[in-house]
């Protein structure tokens, strides 16, 4: 496996690329050898705990400004230049706000819920490659670890909903759990294609498999029919998994006030908020790892830019996409959401598995060559695209949904 494929490993670019790794090593070397692995680990943890919440803070202000721009408003612009210090003001506000625990709530569980959420989400970052050689805990079954940890966030959400003793909280929590469990299936299945192709559960290996360029274009999985379908399915499932619009039913404010965190205020609410955004970023990070080439550059001539810059650049693009969706779409209803998961997402992701397998066999069977490649590409795309159109049309027809025309009276 060539980790350095397409990378000009010369001089200052490589130093810049590995700068955080180098700093970590230098600092660790100051300690006795017994402690060195520990120090390195702690430095990594500190890095993650510092960087991602900082991005969260930036994201909140970017989201509000971005939504504002989409709605022809300015967004926050009073705190600091261009309102960039708005998250500071929000943090101070949430810290100084009274922390209310409803009288009939289960105080311990009520307190634990946001903590469990944030801890579980942070654990997911342990195996996320944010740059070349930049993984906190390089384990072979990293993807499996992430999905396992990700599934435990449901627990904290149900804890919050149940312990609040509020009808809206309970309804919101039940919705959230149902939704997250349903969408975990397509999420996993859509991720499986990338694992199948790579033959490894290790995120680093998956990124490495997408390294290298044909001409100037990279070998990202998203540029294959099955990869594109897998990516699209992954994005939809990720939206549902992180309760983002248009799947933000658990906290649908017009129906359930604030869903499972209705009874949270002050810092606990801020923790929930943090947990949500961290969850969104981590799932986006895995989407990037699985389908968008991880920290790889999109064009061979841009490979001199450090790998971590590419990763975070892609992360911000993904976040912007989430904001864009939020600014555009209304939300679905619970039964429609479930229908969509089981009747559309699941069949599509299963079909995608088959297509991915077919892609592999066709590759071996047809052999190399441009013509063979084109046949393979078109066949897979046609199967997926055709099924998508047919399934979509059938779904709309079954629910009697479609554009209408209107008559007029003079």
Chain contacts with other proteins (rule: CB under 8 A): 66-67, 69-74, 77, 167-168, 171, 245-246, 248-249, 252-255, 257, 324-336, 388-389, 391-393, 395-396, 399-404, 406-410
Closer residue to other proteins in complex, CB, 8/396: 396
Q: Is 13 exposed, middle or buried (0-12, 13-18, 19+ CB in 10 A)?
A: middle
Single out the residue of 125, 134, 152 nearest to residue 286, CA to CA.
Answer: 125
The nearest distance, CB 399 to other proteins, in angstroms, is 7
Q: Is 84 exposed, middle or buried (0-12, 13-18, 19+ CB in 10 A)?
A: middle
Return the residue matching tokens 């997911």: 124
Closer residue to other proteins in complex, CB, 15/71: 71
Are 245 and 237 in contact by the 8 Å Cβ rule? The answer is no
The nearest distance, CB 395 to other proteins, in angstroms, is 7
Single out the residue of 242, 343, 344 nearest to residue 286, CA to CA.
Answer: 242
Are 302 and 313 in contact by the 8 Å Cβ rule? The answer is no
Closer residue to other proteins in complex, CB, 77/152: 77
The nearest distance, CB 175 to other proteins, in angstroms, is 8
Neighbours of 191 (CB within 10 A): 26
The nearest distance, CB 96 to other proteins, in angstroms, is 23
Angle at 255 (CA atoms; ends 252, 261), nearest 5 degrees:
55
Angle at 30 (CA atoms; ends 29, 36), nearest 5 degrees:
50
The residues, ordered by sequence, that sit 6+ positions from 372 with a Cβ below 8 Å of its Cβ are 366
The nearest distance, CB 281 to other proteins, in angstroms, is 19
The nearest distance, CB 351 to other proteins, in angstroms, is 15
Segments in 71-166 forming alpha helices (H): 86-96, 107-124, 142-151, 153-163
Closer residue to other proteins in complex, CB, 300/387: 387
Q: What does the radius of gyration of the chain's CA atoms come to, in whole angstroms? A: 23
Closer residue to other proteins in complex, CB, 138/327: 327
Closer residue to other proteins in complex, CB, 118/280: 280
The nearest distance, CB 336 to other proteins, in angstroms, is 5
Closer residue to other proteins in complex, CB, 25/398: 398
Q: Which two tokens stand for residue 132?
A: 């070349």
The nearest distance, CB 99 to other proteins, in angstroms, is 20
Helix H or strand E segment including 217: strand 217-218
Are 92 and 167 in contact by the 8 Å Cβ rule? The answer is no
Helix H or strand E segment including 388: helix 370-398
As a whole number of angstroms, the distance between CA 248 and CA 245 comes to 5
The nearest distance, CB 81 to other proteins, in angstroms, is 14
Closer residue to other proteins in complex, CB, 343/360: 343
């Amino acid at each position: 496996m060539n980790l350095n494929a397409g990378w000009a490993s010369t001089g200052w670019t490589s130093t810049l690329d590995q700068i955080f790794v180098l700093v970590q090593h230098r600092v660790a070397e100051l300690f006795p050898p017994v402690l060195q692995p520990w120090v390195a680990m702690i430095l990594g943890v500190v890095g993650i705990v510092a960087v991602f919440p900082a991005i969260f803070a930036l994201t909140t202000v970017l989201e509000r400004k971005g939504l504002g721009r989409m709605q022809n408003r300015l967004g926050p612009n009073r705190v600091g230049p261009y309102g960039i210090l708005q998250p500071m003001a929000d943090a101070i506000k949430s810290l100084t706000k009274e922390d209310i625990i409803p009288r009939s709530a289960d105080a311990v569980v009520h307190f634990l819920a946001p903590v469990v959420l944030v801890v579980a989400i942070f654990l997911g970052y342990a195996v996320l490659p944010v740059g070349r050689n930049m993984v906190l805990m390089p384990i072979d079954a990293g993807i499996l670890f992430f999905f396992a940890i990700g599934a435990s966030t449901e627990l904290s959400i149900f804890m919050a909903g149940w312990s609040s003793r509020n009808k809206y909280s309970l309804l919101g929590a039940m919705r959230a759990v149902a939704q997250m469990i349903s969408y975990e299936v397509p999420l996993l299945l859509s991720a499986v294609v990338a694992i199948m192709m790579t033959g490894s559960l290790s995120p680093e290996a998956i990124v490495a498999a997408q390294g290298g360029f044909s001409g100037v274009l990279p070998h990202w999985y998203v540029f294959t029919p099955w990869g594109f379908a897998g990516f699209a399915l992954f994005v939809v499932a990720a939206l549902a998994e992180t309760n983002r619009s248009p799947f933000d039913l658990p906290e649908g404010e017009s129906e359930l006030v604030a869903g499972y965190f209705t009874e949270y205020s002050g810092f606990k609410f801020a923790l929930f908020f943090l947990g949500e955004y961290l969850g969104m970023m981590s799932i986006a990070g895995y989407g990037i790892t699985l389908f968008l080439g991880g920290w790889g550059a999109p064009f061979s001539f841009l490979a001199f830019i450090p790998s971590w810059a590419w990763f975070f650049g892609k992360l911000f693009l993904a976040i912007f996409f989430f904001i864009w969706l939020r600014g555009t779409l209304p939300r679905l209803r619970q039964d429609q959401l479930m229908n969509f998961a089981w009747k559309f997402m699941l069949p599509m992701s299963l079909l995608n598995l088959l297509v991915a397998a077919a892609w592999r066999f066709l590759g071996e069977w047809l052999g190399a060559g441009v013509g063979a490649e084109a046949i393979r590409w078109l066949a897979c795309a046609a199967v997926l695209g055709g099924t998508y159109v047919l399934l979509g049309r059938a779904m709309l027809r079954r629910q009697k949904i479609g554009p209408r025309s209107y008559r007029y009276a003079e």
